[in-house]
């Protein structure tokens, strides 16, 4: 489903976010549910796709779609609920890292990929291997465009505040 509705750069970002999150598992103290972590990671930006465009912030739109998809596929409701929270909170600075370990790791992994955050927690070779496996495919330009479109449509969204604080500049200057 994600592959069908996402441009390649967004799918690869989601896969890199998963890989970087796994590589930072040392940052959380609890065991993670790897299936839940994978599903939440892969679906975390569904709200940026045409399939999930709605009137609410992209994190909420994507979270609803991810939960509904998981339940339709037979995933247990408690796991689908956690995936919902992963998607809804993945970029919630000051909150996500205090939540369930899957939420925290997605926050770390996506932040590392899009803005180079926590790059000091990643082995250089790991980064090189992940980037070789899941290429950029115009990721920075594409993601900046999607975020700008979201802000134009939803000027009071959480992401609008993040952009005002310099998020897009940070993303544009990221190492990879």
What is the distance between the alpha carbons of residues 163 and 96, in angstroms, rounded to a whole number?
18
* pLDDT, one tens digit for every residue, the chain (176 residues): 999 999 999 999 999 999 999 999 999 989 999 999 999 999 999 999 999 988 999 999 999 999 999 999 999 999 999 999 999 999 999 999 999 999 999 999 999 999 999 999 999 999 999 999 999 889 999 999 999 999 999 999 989 999 999 999 988 888 77
Q: Which domains does the chain have, with CATH numbers?
A: 2-173 (1.10.3210)
Cα dihedral sign, 168-40-86-18 = negative
Instruction: Give the integer Cα–Cα distance in Å for 4 and 80.
Output: 20
pLDDT of residue 173: 87
Which of 67, 60, 58 has the alpha carbon at shortest distance from 40? Answer: 67
Q: What was the pLDDT predicted at 176? A: 78
The pLDDT score that the predictor gives to residue 174 is 85
C-alpha span between 172 and 108 (Å, rounded): 18
The closest alpha carbon to 162, from 31, 58, 23, belongs to: 58
Cα angle: 13, vertex 3, 154; to 5 degrees:
65
> Is the full-model pTM beyond 0.85?
yes
pLDDT for res 137? 80
User: Which of 52, 73, 55 is CA-nearest to residue 63?
Assistant: 52
């Amino acid at each position: 489903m994600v592959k069908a509705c996402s441009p390649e750069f967004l799918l690869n970002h989601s896969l890199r976010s998963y890989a970087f999150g796994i590589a930072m598992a040392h940052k959380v103290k609890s065991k993670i549910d790897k299936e839940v972590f994978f599903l939440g990671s892969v679906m975390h930006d569904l709200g940026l796709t045409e399939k999930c465009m709605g009137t609410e912030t992209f994190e909420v739109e994507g979270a609803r779609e991810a939960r509904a998809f998981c339940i339709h596929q037979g995933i247990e409701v408690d796991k689908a609920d956690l995936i919902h929270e992963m998607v809804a909170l993945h970029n919630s600075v000051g909150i996500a890292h205090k939540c369930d370990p899957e939420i925290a790791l997605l926050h770390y992994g996506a932040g590392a990929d899009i803005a180079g955050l926590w790059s000091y927690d990643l082995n250089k070779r790991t980064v090189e291997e992940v980037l070789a496996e899941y290429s950029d495919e115009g990721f920075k330009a594409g993601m900046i465009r999607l975020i700008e479109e979201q802000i134009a449509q939803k000027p009071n969204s959480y992401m609008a505040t993040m952009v005002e604080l310099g998020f897009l500049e940070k993303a544009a200057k990221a190492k990879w």
